[in-house]
Amino acid sequence: MNSTEIWFTGLLEEHGVALSPLQLEQFQTYYELLVEWNEKMNLTGITEREAVYEKHFYDSVTLSFFVKMDQASSLADIGSGAGFPSIPLKICFPHLRVTIVDSLNKRIQFLQHVVQALKLEQVQCVHGRAEDIARLAPHRDAYDIVTARAVARLSGLNELCLPFVSDGGVFAAMKGADPADEVNEAKRSMTELKAKLTSIEHLKLPFEQSDRHILLMKKNGATPAKYPRKAGLPLKQPIL
């Protein structure tokens, strides 16, 4: 193990996430592909190994400190970009059936390559806008956990993500420093989309020490027929 892998496995183990040599190798291959493909397309501004493991891999897995992954069977990641948080979560919790949605086809092609190279099973990479994909029966009100990191302000994000969550399921919005204003602004969108804020979890990245917040919402009921509205509208004219 190199020094990055030593702290990475150690910190995850403290939270009950034990990584096998195969899982560590999957993270290593993912890191190499990220750096390689990043030269041809814009995937991430972070390429140094330690920083990728901390700010992308570890940050993604922190969701499992607050949401019990072993009690879930399906997860959808909306606006996954280069695969965060869904690919690190899938590596750590291989039992999950994962759907990745992104509106940029190049990123979906990268993720399809990652899924093959890492031999991940039951991962579907869907190219399209969340507003359109959430209207398709297999995806609507269908997932135990829905995630989104760094996609949009919560008032608009709720309309992109909550329609994917099953009745009783969880939407986890992964946010940075201080989400209080966003949360206040998003109250009406939560009510309209049948969700209730259940907790705001706080953590710090282990070395950089920057603050992260995970907003957890529980869905109670089916998505009303009028949502999501036409593609583009949720972010342009959020429910306020």
**Does residue 25 have a known ligand-binding role?**
no
Q: Rg (Cα) of the chain, in Å, rounded? A: 17
Q: Counting contacts by CB under 6 A, is residue 80 touching ligand SAM?
A: yes
Angle 142-101-219 from CA coordinates, rounded to 5°:
35
Q: Closest Cα to residue 56, out of 35, 93, 33, 85?
A: 85
In angstroms, the CA 36 to CA 182 distance is: 35
Nearest approach in angstroms of CB 110 to ligand SAM is: 10
**Does residue 66 have a known ligand-binding role?**
no
Single out the residue of 91, 101, 142, 173 in contact with ligand SAM (rule: CB under 6 A): 101
In angstroms, the CA 67 to CA 216 distance is: 9
**Measured on CA atoms in the order 239, 178, 51, 73, is the torsion positive or negative?**
negative
Contact string 139-178 vs ligand SAM (x = CB under 6 A): ----------xxx--------x------------------
Q: Counting contacts by CB under 6 A, is residue 102 touching ligand SAM?
A: yes
Q: Counting contacts by CB under 6 A, is residue 118 touching ligand SAM?
A: no
Q: Which residues are annotated as a binding site for S-adenosyl-L-methionine?
A: 79, 84, 130-131, 149
Binding interface with ligand SAM (CB under 6 A): 78-82, 84, 101-104, 107, 129-131, 149-151, 160
